[in-house]
Amino acid sequence: MKKIAFSLSVLAASLSAHAELSELGDYDLTKVTGQAGVDIELDLALDIGSIVYTDTTDGLDGDGGSLSISTIHIGGGEGRSTLFGFPNPGNTANIDDFKFIIDIDSTGKMVLNGSPTDGISPVDFEITVDEVFLSAANGTKGATLVDGFSVYGGALYFKATIEDKVNAASQMYTNIQLSAQVGIEDMDIDLTSMLGLKIDNMVVAGAEYFETIEENGSPTTTSRVATLRANMFAEPDGSGFVVDFSSGLSATNVFDIYAPEVSLGGQMLGAISLDDVDIRGVSMKFAGH
């Protein structure tokens, strides 16, 4: 009997407390949840054994041959002594110290902004590939296209925007716009098997890279970084997937390339410089066949 009385007392107290509750307004809810959007801090190291594309025999002209990319590694530049000319960058084995902020506005557009956690220091990354080669339908290895590839650099900014748009024919499509500020400090490409060509220590930088070297004797941090932007979308009629680098901004999708060590057939050719490489008029469409 005492247990029943005690339970009824607890129930009565609960009902009394509930009667005093009031609905939270939008402002109060915002304070409770902290803030709008989602923050993600990246800490990434990724290894992939192989990526294989097979031209399947199910189609009219497929013959079952394959293109293979073996032993892919994506991570940080651990052990590298410099980044954008600065010594002792403190690189780890992972891509880290990079924060993403995800927001969705009232129109349904999603915006993902990425930047270094301290807002200043470039975030290092390193990507390596062992080999790219062709294979016959029976698995026999064919030509080697790339004997080895590695790229080391830093990123200062990344942005992705996803939204619906309407083209000139009044057709709705989903557009993905990617923008990034990145610089390549060291790219090595080994094409010995296919062309007898090797490129070592190649730099990909901003459009003012060579100009700042000429003026100051060395490049500035900002000149080491190129601003890149691309729009990607599937054609509404299903005819393919488009990657479009068109831009009206003079500093976007324009960059410098410096390859200090180029060899052919085992003999050193020397250095190659490409000033103001402009891809603002480039658009590519991919489709199956």
pLDDT digits (tens, 9 = 90+) for 124-155: 999 999 999 999 988 899 999 999 999 999 99
- The pLDDT confidence band at residue 64, using thresholds 50, 70 and 90, is confident
Which structure tokens are listed for 152?
Answer: 């080391």
pTM attached to this predicted model: 0.80
Q: Tell me how far apart the alpha carbons of residues 148 and 192 are, in angstroms, rounded to a whole number.
A: 9
Tens-place pLDDT, residues 267-276: 999 999 999 9
Closest alpha carbon to 97 in 125, 66, 138:
125
Please give the pLDDT value at position 286: 92
* Domain ranges across the chain: 26-286
Strand partners, 35: none
Mean pLDDT calculated for residue range 72-97: 89
Band of residue 74 on the pLDDT scale cut at 50, 70, 90 = very high
E strands, 76-209, in order: 82-83, 86-87, 95-104, 110-116, 123-135, 141-146, 148-166, 172-191, 197-206
- Higher-pLDDT residue of 60 and 142 is 142
- Three-state secondary-structure class, residue 287: coil
